Structure 1
Amino acid sequence: MLSQQLIAALSRCNNGQTSMSFSLLRRRAAQATRLYSTPSSPAFKQPHTTESSTSAAEYKLAHPKRRPPPLPSIDPPQWSAQEAVNNIVYNTPPPSLQPFTRHTLNCLVQNEPGVLSRVSGILAARGFNIDSLVVCATEIEDLSRMCIVLRGQDGVIEQARRQLEDLVPVWAVLDYTRTKTIERELLLAKISILGPEYFENQLANKGPDILPATEGVEEGSPAKQHADNTLRAAGSIHPNVDVDTAAPHLSPSEALRQKHTHLSGIRLLAEQFGGKMVDISNDSVIVEMTGKTTRVDAFLKLVRPYGILEAARSGSMVMPRAPIASPWSGMADEDAAADEVEAFDASLLPPG
């Protein structure tokens, strides 16, 4: 190898590729010869070769492993039951201070049996009380929509939402809590038009139209005795009911005027809230009303003095609003952005 390098250097000198003198080339050749011919150079020491395949095993037998020194043992303190309980109570983190807010979840699920029970089972296992639950079919044949309204902390609701999404028949779970939506709820309320004096009689099935009839009943029979006892109880509790005739102390004209007065007041309230009367009977009226949950609650509070015999609510149904594409930004857009900034939870920030 050294001779080849010298020959190459001489050829470069003969060809005029370098201006190095022959003496300088000789000195460098001597240095290279001494460097390569030194037998004690550690960089070029030939490794020890072996032909045995059990060299590694022999090395391990000749150099046994030393066990590491044992770790120091620390005896745990011997606590009493009271000290252990105090330690657990002291080290237990405080509960979350997040407020319980109203959340609206919209679940898109497969239209098949058993989905509702699985969704409600997950929410019940976490201790949620469902305020409203509406399940209905959509325009797609195999797709159903669930609108669930419940109250809880944001972190717990988010965990429940992700757990619902993990179900096989659930396509997606959308949280409409902080989304601009259209919310509607249907109310059917049966309201008394006899007035507050007769509301308790109607509610207890002891009103003038529901009291047991005594005509054609034999004296001394169990039916006659039951009717007499019912009339006496009604007369003792409600003085406006005559025990002998089972009729109020009002003339027919006064009773008729009172019914129409109450009917007019209920109709006026229903019209103010966008509702309508769908059924009218001798002593009650059924009102149908559609609106937000807050408006339904307000309507029920206003008609409660008349006497609510029955009330049925469908639950909340929501649908997100469609944004309006416009280059002009009004004051409402700025207010919405400010509300989003104010609604930010400062507890989610890192400490410090």
Structure 2
Amino acid sequence: MTGSSDILAQFNRLEQAGAIDTLGELRRENRELDRIITDAALMVSYTDVNSMLSFVIGRLLDHFIPQFLAFLVHPPRGEKLRQYCYRNLKESEDMIDPLYYNLMKERFTRNPAPATFAEIAEELGQDLFGDDIRSLGPDQIYPMAGIGGVWGIVILGKKVVGDSWTELEMKYLDRMFRFLSVSMQNGLHYESSITDPKTGLFTHDYFVRHLDETVALCQRHKRTAGILMMDVDHFKKFNDTWGHVTGDVVLMRMAKVLKQTTRAEDCVARFGGEEFSVLISECTTEGLMTAAERIRTAVEALRIHVDGQVLSVTISIGARLIEPAGDTGSLMLIGDADKALYVSKSEGRNRSSLYMSGLLDRADYIRTFKNTI
């Protein structure tokens, strides 16, 4: 009994001293550390920004829902500010004035510690932040820093349910956003190495590497895919008449059309100059030509306003189906698609042509697409 009394007395002394509560807090914090380490290990497995953000959103959903969340990201190579905004962790079309990003970035460059929006507004000047950002309900602000300093900002609103953020929750968020900063910066640098800076499409080299992989998959799993090679009609004349700045606008608008008219799994690239390429995954001949026509008609419908005039452009397209049989390499497939592109140009431009190696293919093509193309 004496031993039991001693143990009870020691426990009472520890409890009175607050040690038991401290031990419980340490255990909870250790669980949080284990969780963030696990989350960080999973996060680094993603290579693209959208996947990383989806992962973070999923993790936040497990614990709390902020009324508003925004990631303001300035990618490498001087590209414009990207904004990923969410209401109740669902994507929204909210946009934040880049002026506020620059103000907060400057503050975090001097002092990298996370802060509340109220603290930042008080520090920098209340009159610098208008109703447009205040109406979003910003609460906690976190810097995204890495090589080269601060390159992004996270804006977090109040929780939908519950009181203000607890100290443990803010520690979790701080660690999560630190890991996200490193992973996302690596992802952005990789993205910049495989994308064309003017259009945001993939580069020629990346397209060819992806094509090599697709050809191998088609041969291994008996699938079919397709290539589209396209060229802006009379682009040199357009540049000479309206100037290279307007020409660049055409290329950027066309890139946007290509992204909008293809699937997420398709690979869209700027092949060089005014020439573009699309790798259509998992398609038949009919599907490939349908995709070509969808792109061609969308570009034809483009209108570019210059000096009070409305301009338009057209494109010619060459298509080549990738089949599982044979040992056709990437360069030959691209060459075949280019031959079909040349046919489109020689037959009047603003049309789509399919590469065919024989008369039976041509007869089948005419029979299938004569009334649709």
Identify, as 1 or 2, the structure richer in helix: 2
Larger Rg: 1
TM-score by length of 1: 0.22
TM-score by length of 2: 0.21
